[in-house]
Amino acid sequence: MTEGAATAAQFLPVLRESQTARAAVAHLQHMFNDFGEQPRFDEIGKFGPKTLAAVKKFQQSNHLIVDGVVGKNTWKALLEKWLPG
């Protein structure tokens, strides 16, 4: 785990379905778009069923607890994949 990702993850909000933190949810969706998630997110900022499915798929493929909640460990894994090495 990179130190930068671990540090950044501490300051990011916990996200879950029906979340109202539009900016954070939009950033999460842009990250999934950058990863090539299909279908791409076009309704940016709403944590609905499509985002929930993408989060669970990411958690499962990265050996995380599959709960659909983007907490510290999920943020760390996302940032490690998304931030340049």
CB 1 within 8 A of CB 64: no
Residue in this structure with the two tokens 């993408």, named with its chain if needed: 54
Q: Which residues pair with 15 in a beta bridge?
A: 70
Residues 37-68 pLDDT 10s: 888 888 789 999 999 999 999 999 999 999 99
Span 4-24, average pLDDT: 87
SS3 state of residue 70:
strand
Compute the distance between CA of residue 28 and CA of residue 48 in angstroms, rounded to an integer: 12
Which comes out higher in pLDDT, residue 79 or 5?
79
Please give the pLDDT value at position 16: 95
> Which CATH homologous superfamily contains domain 3-82?
PGBD-like superfamily/PGBD (1.10.101.10)
- Let me know: does 68 contact 60? Beta carbons within 8 Å: no
Q: Where do the structural domains in the chain lie, given as residue ranges?
A: 3-82
